[in-house]
Structure formats: structure tokens, C-alpha cells
Amino acid sequence: MSAIRGARERARTEVTTAIKNEARRQLAQEGAAKLSLRAVARELGMVSSALYRYFPSRDDLLTALIVDAYDAVGVAAETALADGRDGPGGLGPRDRWNAVCSAVRAWALAHPHEYALIYGSPVPGYTAPGDTIGPASRVGLTLIAIARDASRADALAPPPLSGELRPEAARIAADIAPDLPPAVAVALVAAWAQLFGLISFEVFGQFNRMVEERDAFFAQAASRLAEDVGLRG
């Protein structure tokens, strides 16, 4: 029985992978708004009723693709951080930050349609469920981990914080990083938003005919974000 069950699980995994791959192909061609279970089933030679056993609705398939995309960019960020920690001599906080930012950008440029799915325009009629929250947090948590490493190494200088923002800063810090100064928590949220703003401008073409040396431009911008957070060394 275990062998039969294992074979069924492998077959289900293979079909699920095929469905997702075809859906990603259609995302690249048509965009998320036009994703259709019937179209996916037709291209795979399946009847719609069979596909529904894997993904009961278009939204279920979209959620699976969104979670996969968030996990993939999260893995890119986490791998860059691990390499920076474990490499010869280890990288300093700013270099770790720059390595993580560069890894996120590289993933986005290599997977523009998947990036658009998670950071582009909302899909009409779709509301992301709670299942996406954890995967969506992975890059942000990686940036927070860099700040924590810097704090432990006495290489974190909290940036200035205006008086009117202090209550909000305390609330944000309590939510995302209670072990870090509130000023750093605010700066991390701003840096996270600016990081994806930079990447989105590049992926979606807003830098066309404006920024030519994009690697150097991004490296400079990422380094400035590290300064804003208060990373030293």
C-alpha cells in the first residue's frame, strides 16, 4: 500500500508541477488577469474537471503561483545572507545588505513575470489569502536579520527619528523587530519599500532612456539604503 501511495503522490506532484508551469507560461503571454483554468487544462490535454481536483478555482492556482514566487525570491535573499555570513572571513553588515539586495534584483530580472505577479498591479477580482503572508515576509525578515547581526556586532547606529513619529515607530518595532531600536525598524520598512521601488522601476521599464549603467546605479542606491538603516562596517 505504501508503494502505491508513494506512486500516487509522485504522480500528483508531477501533474501539479505541469499545471503551474503552464500557468506561468500563460502569465508571461497573457498576464495574470487572463489566467484561465480551462485554458491551462486545454494546453495540457486535460479535461477541466480533472484540473479542478488539483486547483478548485483560478484563485487557488494564482495563490499557489504567488506563494511559489514569494518563496523563490525569499530563498534568493536568504541564500545571499547565508553566503555572506559563512564565506571566508564573513562579510560586514553593509556588504551583506548589498549582497541580499543584489540577489533580490537578480531574481526579479530573471523572472519578470513572476515578479509582476507579486509586485505588479493587483489582479482584478483576486484577494490574496493569509497563506501568502509568511512567504511575502521572507525578504523583509532577511533585511531585519542583517540589522540584528549588526546590532550584536555593535555595528548599528540608529538613524534620527522625528518626535511625531516616535509612537508609530514604537508600534512598528513591536510588530516586526522588538529587539531593535524603533528608529531602525522604521528605517527598515522604508528601505524595504524603496528596494522594491528601485527593482520595479527597472523591471517595468521606467528607467528606459534614463539610467544606462544600471548595475552601478543599483549598487549605489542599495548602499545608501544601508546607510539609512544605520549599518556600519
Query: What's the pLDDT score for residue 7?
Result: 63
Q: Which residues form the domain of 135?
A: 62-229
The predicted-structure confidence for 50-82, as pLDDT tens digits, reads as follows 889 999 999 999 999 999 999 999 999 999 999
Please check whether residues 38 and 104 belong to one and the same domain.
Answer: no
Q: Pick the closest to residue 69 from 34, 32, 37 (CA basis).
A: 32
Percent of all residues in the chain with a pLDDT value above 90, rounded to a whole number: 81
pLDDT in tens, 119-132: 998 899 899 999 99
Look at residues 113, 149, 166 and name the one whose alpha carbon lies nearest to residue 231: 149
22/45 Cα distance (integer angstroms): 11
CATH of the domain at 30: 1.10.10
Shared-domain flag, residues 177 and 93: yes
- The CA distance from 218 to 211, in Å, is 10
Contact status, residue 137 vs residue 72, Cβ threshold 8 Å: no
- Do residue 170 and residue 196 come from a single domain? yes
Sign of CA dihedral 19, 11, 53, 44: positive
